[in-house]
Structures are given as structure tokens and as C-alpha cells.
């Protein structure tokens, strides 16, 4: 009997980031199991900084494939999450800002509290409330969800001890396979697919994206920078030193990048790579 990494035989949470890769993983799960198993849950953790197209895509997947997708958002007060839907989901970074105010500092490449708080722990606390994993506390189930890590993402995959949680990697699925799949479908994520990469995905100006990518995204839509500038200004009032008031200390502030974008100037190496994170795609 051939092993199928997408076959579910125990309680499982499928973490859907809202991107093409995790949506493809979900589709493969549905194909392997003849639908969504009764002991499987699909969760989408909304930070409030995703593109509207991402939110529409999550909703469309749910409707087209006739499956429930639970929309979650971080909140600083107990139970530290809330269940929302397409209509009520935050669109102006409210969960993200709430986390920054509660933690009193900005996430950064070393301390990626946005991923851990807004996504992993928010989802885990919701799962704990369901007793999906035999009543385990959220701290024991933070890293049990299936995530969309492909075979061409070796650095991300290396950090996952339990490879059963990354079925795309086990199945040898690459970004080219994912891209080909969506080009053949009657619907798709309405964000540019550039060489099978969605640079517009996840948080719109995520600090882990390459500097040239961020500058390009600001030039394309200057209002994208407004929230990030506001957060760095907020952090300046929270930080003990000015260096702690930026999402990154190795590049200009978002205000400076917005200024450079307005002047149509370049300030980054076009070949700078984005830093891999666990928000998924």
C-alpha cells in the first residue's frame, strides 16, 4: 500500500495561511480523504494586515470546496483569541496592533512574536478549547498543526522535527507544482504570481520580505506604508532606546522607505532574499 502523506487518521488541524501553497495542501487533503474528516479542523489566523484578496480567497476556498474554515484573531484578553468571519474580520491591523501594545515592543527578525502570538498560539488556544488533542493544554499543541512547507523550502522544513506536519515536503511538492495547479483551476488567489512566488502575500509589508520587494509594494500602493509607519511611531514611545522602535535595525524605517518610494529612488539590492518565516504561503 502506497503511503499518502495527506491521509488523515487522527485529530488534525490544517493551518491555512490564505496563500496558494497552503490552499493546495488543503485541496490535497480533501482529495486524499474524500472530503474533510470529522476530526480535522481548518484554521485561518487573520492578522488584519493581509490583502483583501487573501480574505476573499479563503472565503472562496470554503465555498467552492464546501468545507468550514474557522477564522481566528488574536486578542490580548482571555481567552486570547476570537472567532470571526469574512464579514467581521479585521482589515486595518487591529489584532497586530493589539499584540504590539500588549507586548510593548515590535516583532523583529530575531523575535518573531507576530508569528508566534498572532498565528501559532492563537490557533493553539482555540484548538485547546475544542479538546481536539485529548484535552492537551495549548502549550502542548502549539506546534502540532499541518503547515504548507514545500519540498523547495529546505531551510523551513529543517526546523520541523515531525515531518508528518509538512505533507507537501514529504510529497515532493514544489512551487512550480503549486503554480501549475492554480493556473488550471476555475478560481485563484487574485494576487500576482511572479515566478510562482506571491510577494504580495501574508502581511502586506512584512519586515521579513526583501527590502526591494517592500519598496516596490509601497511604490505600487503608497497607503500600504501608513500602518507600518504608525506602528514604528508607536514603538518609539514604548522602546527604551530608539533602535528598538523599528521592525528592523539593519534597514531604514518604513517612513524613510515611503519617502524613497515617493521620490522613485532605489535603496536596496534587488537580489536581496526574503527571510523565511512560518506564516506560510
Mean pLDDT over 188-195 rounds to 86
Q: Is 73 within a domain?
A: yes
**Cis peptide, bond prior to residue 79, ω within 30 of zero:** yes
Q: What is the pLDDT of residues 101-151, one digit of tens each?
A: 999 889 999 899 999 999 999 999 999 999 888 878 777 787 789 999 999
CB 116 within 8 A of CB 47: no
Residue with cell 519540498: 151
Q: Is 163 within a domain?
A: yes
53 band by pLDDT with thresholds 50, 70 and 90? very high
CB 142 within 8 A of CB 124: yes
**What is the residue range of 116's domain?**
12-183
Rounded to whole angstroms, how far apart are CA atoms 247 and 253? 8
Rounded to whole angstroms, how far apart are CA atoms 257 and 229? 10
Tell me what percent of the residues of the chain surpass a pLDDT of 70. 91
Q: Is 39 within a domain?
A: yes
CB 49 within 8 A of CB 87: no
Q: Is 158 within a domain?
A: yes
Q: Is 56 within a domain?
A: yes
CATH number at residue 32: 3.40.50
Q: What is the pLDDT of residues 158-171, one digit of tens each?
A: 989 889 999 999 99
CB 73 within 8 A of CB 48: yes
Nearest to 146 by CA among 182, 179, 171, 112: 171
271 band by pLDDT with thresholds 50, 70 and 90? low
Nearest to 21 by CA among 49, 57, 47, 45: 57
Coil, strand or helix at 84: strand
Q: Is 208 within a domain?
A: no
Rounded to whole angstroms, how far apart are CA atoms 4 and 2? 6
Q: What letter would DSSP give residue 41? A: E
Q: Is 264 within a domain?
A: no
Nearest to 166 by CA among 196, 188, 143: 143
Rounded to whole angstroms, how far apart are CA atoms 13 and 31? 16
Q: Is 248 within a domain?
A: no
As for how many domains the chain has, the answer is 1
Helix%, strand%, coil% for the chain, nearest 5 = 45, 10, 50
Amino acid at each position: 500500500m502506497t503511503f499518502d502523506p495527506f491521509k488523515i487518521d487522527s485529530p488534525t488541524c490544517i493551518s491555512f495561511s490564505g496563500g496558494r501553497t497552503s490552499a493546495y495542501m488543503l485541496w490535497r487533503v480533501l482529495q486524499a480523504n474524500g472530503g474533510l474528516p470529522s476530526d480535522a479542523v481548518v484554521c485561518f489566523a487573520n492578522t488584519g494586515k493581509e490583502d483583501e484578496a487573501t480574505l476573499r480567497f479563503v472565503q472562496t476556498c470554503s465555498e467552492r470546496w464546501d468545507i468550514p474554515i474557522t477564522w481566528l484573531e488574536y486578542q490580548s484578553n482571555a481567552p486570547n483569541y476570537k472567532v470571526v468571519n469574512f464579514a467581521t474580520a479585521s482589515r486595518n491591523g487591529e489584532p497586530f496592533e493589539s499584540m504590539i501594545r500588549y507586548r510593548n515592543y515590535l516583532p523583529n527578525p530575531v523575535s518573531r512574536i507576530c508569528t508566534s502570538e498572532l498565528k501559532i498560539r492563537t490557533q493553539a488556544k482555540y484548538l485547546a478549547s475544542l479538546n481536539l488533542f485529548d484535552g492537551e493544554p495549548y502549550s502542548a499543541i502549539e506546534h502540532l498543526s499541518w503547515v504548507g512547507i514545500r519540498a523547495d523550502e529546505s531551510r523551513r522544513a529543517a526546523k520541523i522535527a515531525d515531518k508528518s506536519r509538512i505533507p507537501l515536503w514529504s510529497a515532493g511538492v514544489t512551487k512550480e507544482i503549486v503554480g501549475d495547479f492554480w493556473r488550471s483551476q476555475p478560481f485563484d488567489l487574485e494576487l500576482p504570481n511572479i515566478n510562482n512566488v506571491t510577494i504580495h502575500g501574508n502581511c502586506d509589508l512584512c519586515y521579513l520580505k526583501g527590502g526591494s520587494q517592500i519598496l516596490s509594494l509601497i511604490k505600487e500602493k503608497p497607503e500600504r506604508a501608513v500602518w507600518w509607519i504608525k506602528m514604528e511611531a508607536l514603538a518609539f514611545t514604548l522602546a527604551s532606546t530608539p533602535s528598538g522602535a523599528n521592525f528592523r535595525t539593519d534597514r531604514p524605517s518604513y517612513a524613510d522607505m515611503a519617502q524613497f518610494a515617493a521620490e522613485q529612488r532605489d535603496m536596496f539590492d534587488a537580489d536581496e532574499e526574503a527571510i523565511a518565516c512560518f506564516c506560510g504561503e
